[in-house]
Amino acid sequence: MKTPLFNLHLDAGGKLIEFAGWQLPVQFKGIREEHLHVRSKAGLFDVSHMGEIRIKGKNALKTLQYLTTNDVQTLTAGKAQYSLLLNEKGGVVDDIVIYCLSPNEDYLVCVNAANQKKDLEWFLAHNQGALIENQSPQWAQIALQGPMAPQILLKVVQNPELLKKLQFFHFYEDQWNRHQMIVARTGYTGEWGYEIFLPWDDAPSLWEALLSESEDLWPIGLGARDTLRLEMGYSLYGQDLTDDITPYEAGLNWVVKENQKDFIGKTALRPPCRSRVGFLLLERGIPRTGYSLFSFDKKEIGKVTSGTFSPSLERPIGLGLVDSSFAKKGEKFFVKIRQRFLEAEVVSIPFVEPRAQKPIHF
């Protein structure tokens, strides 16, 4: 499948790969260069492959409360919420963001691209009387991230005063080409930035308008998107989150509101024997997904769920799921890379300082 920006990526020299059934750019100028550019200036990401499911009607809140771990009842109009869908065993079906358009009765749920069909079927199978519609074909999505993102977006929106007031994990409705556009202050990089939802056919003109506003804004591929999110310790579904990993194992306790409500999978949740950790590799090598982790007496204690060479830190980093006795900061273990056992140390997450939640000064 192709996003509405496919031809623009080709024109810009993007190197295209298949991802979750989509043709998407993995890089334009190079992963390291693009990564550092987002951290220092600004980058534009095509995330139109993400899915959007609309939950409406008098039972919309009831349905979302039953399906998700976070407390949807706390959402007011214009507020977004990170949450999880769980299966009956407590494993993660998907991690999602819920955008409240109208409390109790109208929500837009952003789901992972690879899970669109799976999530829609899950919603429909456990519907509590809401109107559920897959609106993924209608919405394109563009992410604008980096220290210069606010100033660049300010030049193209119709309601700059609303943009200036926008708080972290809130959104407002603007217009592009006289059509509805949702501007959300969310993102996957830890930088100041926005995710913009707009009609599919309007995406190319907005993309070009944003790029024309500043030479310091570059198109960014999936490669840098992955290294940026990993430096923040953000989970990637299919690696750090799966149907067999519970939110407590994944370190996402903060989005599980066990005391406030009932939801699918709640009764299966238990104190974890495994824990997610962030670690630095202390020797040369790259800790790839699936590599085994060992104690110093060579007993296997877990697996790498995500790993890369951090362009910001200039050293290898990773996320792992380990026996909880090895999860304390400062704990050390081995990462087995081919036939070598390389030393690693547990550190705090995120690996770099986040800016996303800090106030923006225009």
Q: Which of 119, 134, 149 is the last residue of a domain?
A: 134
Residues 157 and 163: beta-carbon distance below 8 Å: yes
Domain membership of residue 92 (yes or no) is yes
Question: Within its chain, how far is the Cα of 336 from the centroid?
Answer: 28
H helix or E strand, kind and range, residue 179: strand 179-184
From first to last of the 362 residues of the chain, give the pLDDT tens digit.
999 999 999 999 999 999 999 999 999 999 999 999 999 999 999 999 999 999 999 999 999 999 999 999 999 999 999 999 999 999 999 999 999 999 999 999 999 999 999 999 999 999 999 999 999 999 999 999 999 999 999 999 999 999 999 999 999 999 999 999 999 999 999 999 999 999 999 999 999 999 999 999 999 999 999 999 999 999 999 999 999 999 999 999 999 999 999 999 999 999 999 999 999 999 999 999 999 999 999 999 999 999 999 999 999 999 999 999 999 999 999 999 999 999 999 999 999 999 999 999 88
Say whether both 178 and 225 belong to one domain: yes
Query: Do residues 76 and 218 both lie within one domain?
Result: no
Tokens of 69: 């771990």
Same domain, 65 and 213: no
Q: Crossing angle, helix 222-231 and helix 31-40, to 10 degrees? A: 60
Residues 143 and 171 in one domain: yes
Q: Write the single-letter amino acid at 255.
A: V
The answer to pTM > 0.85 is yes
Q: Is 142 left (phi over 0), alpha (psi -120 to 50) or beta?
A: beta
Considering the domain architecture, whether residues 96 and 216 belong to the same structural domain is answered as: no
Residue 351 lies in a domain: no
* End-of-domain residue from the set 231, 258, 278: 231
pLDDT recorded at residue 151: 97
Q: Which amino acid is at 248?
A: Y
Which CATH number belongs to the domain containing residue 215 in this structure?
3.30.1360.120
Q: DSSP class of residue 327?
A: -
The pLDDT assigned to 362 comes to: 86
Domain annotation covers residue 1: no
Examine the fold and report which residue of 134, 159, 181 is the final residue of a domain before the chain moves on: 134
Indicate whether 207 and 86 sit together in one domain: no
User: Does residue 222 fall inside a structural domain?
Assistant: yes
Longest CA span, the chain: 65
With respect to residue 313, please indicate whether it lies within any of the assigned structural domains.
no
**62 falls within a domain:** yes
| Residues 67 and 210 placed together within one structural domain of the fold | no
Q: Alpha carbon of 192 to those of 42, 95, 96, 359: distances in Å?
A: 9, 21, 20, 9
Check whether residue 142 and residue 208 sit in a common domain. Answer: yes
Q: How many domains does the chain have?
A: 2
In a domain, 305, yes or no: no
CATH number at residue 105: 3.30.70.1400
Same domain assignment for residues 109 and 69: yes
Shared domain for 103 and 65, answered yes or no, is yes
Do 227 and 211 lie in a common domain? yes
Query: In this structure, are 30 and 143 located in the same domain?
Result: yes
**Dihedral angle at the C-alpha atoms of 173, 1, 14, 219, nearest 10 degrees?**
10
Domain encompassing residue 107: 52-134
> End-to-end distance of the chain based on CA atoms, in angstroms?
38
**CA distance linking residue 229 with residue 186, whole number of Å:** 13
In a domain, 125, yes or no: yes
Report the C-alpha gap between 95 and 278 in whole angstroms: 19
